[in-house]
Structure 1
Amino acid sequence: MEVSGKLDQVYQQTLQLRELASQAEVAPELLDEALKALCLVLEELHAADEELLEQNRNLLDAQRLLEIERQRYATLFELAPDGYLVTDTVGLIRQANRAAAALCGRPQADLEQKPLIVFVAAADRPSFQARLADPHAQQDWEITLAGPNREPVRVAITVASLNNPQGQGATLLWLLRDITQRKQIEQQLRLAYDHLEQQVAARTAELTEANARLQQERDHHRQAAKTVRKQAALIDIVPDAIYTQNLQGIIEFWSRGAECLYELPAAAALGQPADRLLQLKPSAHTPPATDSSSWQGELEYITPSGQSRVVLSRRTPMYDPSEQPQAVLVVNTDITAIKQLEAQVYRAQRIDSLGTMASGIAHDLNNAIGPILTATDFLLKPSQAELQPHRELLTLIRSSAQRSVDLIQRLLTFGRGTSEKRVPLLIRQPLLEVAALLEQTTARSIEICPQIPADLTFYVVANPTQLHQILMNLCINACDAMPAGGTLTLTLAPYQLSPTEAQAYVDARPGDYVVITVADSGLGISPQSLERIFDPFFTTKPAGQGTGLGLSTVFSLVKSHGGFVQVSSELGHGSQFRVYLPVAAAPNPAPLPAAAPNAEPPGPPPPRPGPDG
């Protein structure tokens, strides 16, 4: 119960006691009760007085704390960095702190009871009046404070309203924050942004123009690269060896044709000296690498595999923009096959001319020796008894004349060939027959190795006698090349001759061929002799042991059968003769079965041909 309530209760009890005391007669019991009630009232009054004193002390303490808080908030209000104003609803200033006075450019005392609008710049007053009429419509806005003899100040305003006990707005609280420097920075940033926009626009225009130029250059370079790729493709397609070297002779470009011709990849050739990389034969002549003049001529190179290549070389200087020589372009065309074909043509022409001459000589000798044979046959008849003592001499004369006739017949065969009939032959059969004959007639120190697959059933159109002569001549030469013994190998294989390969041989046509290889492990043939082995009357054997017609006859007979001969040899490592004969269609009747490699040859062995070169 509150103190005022208790006091009121004590007062009422006191009135009741007074009323009881005013009565005439009061019962003692009632008086005692009244006294007790009075004492109780006095005690309650005393307690209420104590409680009242305590409340007074608490009230004083609260007042002191309130004063402290008021002073603290007043200090904060006064020393705040932002301007604080308290106005009525029409903008009349009632209180302002130091910061507000500084923003308005007046002392604090001069601001009280002054309308705030007088400190607003003239340009912002209409908008200030409109917002002041309804301050709650927009809580934050900006205005400019201006005054005489001072720079305008741009401030941000926040307004709050305090209501009176009736709930009506009676007081406005203003927060004024100086944003002049911020506005200046914003203005500087805006100017910088505009300047940057202009620079960006100008730079963008420059970049656009540069990009257009770059695109044009890229298109030009792309077109140039495309042209270079086309030229490079053309260079790679050309079979000629094309390379460039600087004036010091260092190779800077190496085409695919050069890789094929010189058997060197580009990685191994680039950066290497041309004179050391490309091995010229000692007799060959080429200008030095430092010579930038034009030159053309034939050169002979030795490839890494040891093959000799003849090229038609053309050198052309390359100039820089100042017309000074900076490199040399070399184009080498492989004319090895042409040179070989020329040699074959010259050899064929020489053989033809010698054949014609040999035919004439053989005809004259045949006419001269014919009467000798006729006379000796007549004198050796039994009817000529008186000549019997001279029979041995006559037999010797006839034998010598017969050998001369055989030689003349070989000259005629070499010179004009023979008109004997040619028929389709199973090529395995004559090879097996020759192999069997050689096993019976050659020395035991020579091993005959026929390598003739049973499934190779190729036919050639040939004269059996001439084919036999070709094989026997090659095999006898191979045996003669192995005086200390060795291995003679006979092989048969198919071969597809391409048009490019056919160009390397006179009258050769592309197509299917069979290749008969006669290989020996003998002494071999020197490079100088290898160039002349098919020449008539050329032999490396001692005098009286060879006529030099064996290989030339082989060459002529093979050529007359539409084929050609290849030979490869190395001193001390033997020789290989390859006879290429065109394949023919099989005849309608079934061919006779081929003879086994070790079968007996039909009939008595023919006499061994005379020695040749």
Structure 2
Amino acid sequence: MTPTMTPNTVPDEFRRLLDSTSDPIVIADEAGGIAFVNTRAERQFGYARAELLGQSAEVLVPEWFQIEDRADFGPKGPRPLFGRRKDGTEFPARVTRGPVRLDGRFVFAVVTDTSARTSPEPASHGGEELFRGIFEHAGVPTALTDTENRFVRVNAAFARMFGYFQADMVGMSAAELIHPDDLHEALTTGKILLAGGRQQVQTETRYRHRSGHIVWGLTSVSLVRGPSGRAPVYLNQIQDVTAQKLVEGEARLSAARSRAFFSAAAVGMVEVAADARVLWANDAFCQMIGYSLAELNEMPGTEVLFPEDRAGVLAQYGEVAAGRVRSYEADRRYRRKDGSVLRARVSVVAQTGTEGPARVAIVVTETERKDGDAPVPPAQKAESVEQRIGGLAHDLNNLLTVINGYAEMLADRIQNTDPTYQLAQGAASACQRAANLTRQLLASSRRAAVAPKLLDLNETVLQSTQLLRHLLGPGVEVSTNLAGSPSSVKADPAQVEQLILNLAINAKDAMPRGGQLAIETRCVQLRDEDRGTHADLAPGEYVQLTVSDTGAGMTDEVKARAFEPFFTTKEVGKGTGLGLSVVHGVVKQCGGWVSVESELGVGTAFKILLPAVAPVTGSVRLVSRPTGAVLLVENESETRELARLVLEGQGYRVLEAVSGADALRIAQEHTGPIELLVTDVALPEMSGRAVADILRGRHPAIKVLYVAGTADDLAARRSAIGADALLQKPFTPLSLAHKVRTVLGSSA
């Protein structure tokens, strides 16, 4: 019975190889029925592949069955053959054919249009002519090996993959490339195919590059039988999966480290499915609840919850597992194995990057309470609020980076005489103020990054008063009296604005019926004899900032405790008692001094001394001098789009990636050098540091710029790489361009 064949019976890798070659290829069975044509043959004959399957090969070459008999040479060689297109036109053709055993006996032919050739080429028969075009034009690393596992032919892609020249590999034993631990399995592949049990074998194999490093390959091997009397050969095609293996290895190592850390943690750690079923728990939680992990795995997750709490808890888990809620905190009751109540504070977040069911991670902290309805202690409640504020400010930073960046880029494209220019400038200015406010929120959550720089205190006061007049309302009159000479200090602008804002809000609360708020600056000189009053300050020049009001004033007792954290004289719910504590902390951080003077019924004045710094004259303008490709890794699409536009505007070629794994894939496929990696510190599934470490192994000269959203992220990198390679969100187009230039070593 004549075997039948369709494209589905041709191995996938072999079919892709045939489609990638520039030669028209036709496969027919022994009866002449067309079983397969490649893409090039479709174009040459004008047929779609589906139209030809099952038809006689004479549709394409009318003398198909006489090809092997055409040995009648005339004075100029053999009489020509003709190919026939779908539209009926014919062309002179040269047909090279030979038998190939793929699920039976088939004829494998290359049909070449010779009408465009300037001189005839001698006819050639056999496998060499058949496979030459396929191998040289295929982008897939491909090699032929004989039954002794020696390379008979390799294409350019295969040689590049392992760092050799093609000529050097012919005759080489494949065992020289294969890692010793994988050699036995690789050599067994040929025996399996020769035995006829399978037509193709696919394995994951480790190879050794010429330079010595390991290359992971997904290897597909097929047996190709030649004409009668010729030994079979093996068709080997390899897909480089090294980057994928590195990512998987990093993920496994990270998971193992995390699991070890969580197992040793003093607080309870639990992973549950959306239906509350416990998937994993550490020893601390098992001790809290009284059950072993094996017992928790076997019982319904709701068993440890109180019946009246179950519906609400399951609804919350479902929202987190579905990704609609990122995280939340709550007070929760658990029922221990002995029936007693475990009261706990839980932090619940989505667990990303896991296989199987969606997971919810829970941190459980046991709380001691005498009364089940007792409120959470103020300090604990403040800490919870701070954590929520910090997370909110982090997300706002991402949005503000995008809004501010586009506003500044729009302003750059508009003439300053255009009315729209003022609108763009106003939007950018408002974004900058919003960014400063998020820094204040981060400061209250202890996640702010301090960025001191040289600033004119007079300008900061003037900018702040514009906001204060709207914030304090018409009942409070705001006035300024600023020093005539420059009042330069080194401080974080956002912290100074926060300082002035906190003092102004305190003043407003002290003037419920309205009053006057005065802000003054002046330059002062501290001498040795002043050290008794300001013991912590060295003699020298200072800038004094005074914020005074005409409010109710303070008693001596209140003045003595004014800067204590959480101390407040306001009604419950009217204040946290952190405002003046933040003021004190900012001043001390700047190396200054703060004092308070107050009298009941007269008012209060806060006096702040900050070390004066000589102003720096002149300005610096960035000049775009592109140096090469930049790999940009950012999972937030809006932020990534903005950064790409900025970098391309500076003349860089930008390669975009949405994740660490995506970055490694792009770097693997990129043929040129990558000079700079710009990556978010906190990427999902794989950290920015892990991406950088892997890429340094392939691009030793690559430089890295980390982008961070919080001080915690920055601190994690600062000690290892230095401040020059750090950029905090929200960033402006100018700050990003300048930081890239700094990291690449170009002076602006």
TM-score of the pair, normalised by structure 1: 0.31
User: Which one has the bigger helix percentage?
Assistant: 1
User: Which one has the bigger strand percentage?
Assistant: 2
TM-score of the pair, normalised by structure 2: 0.26
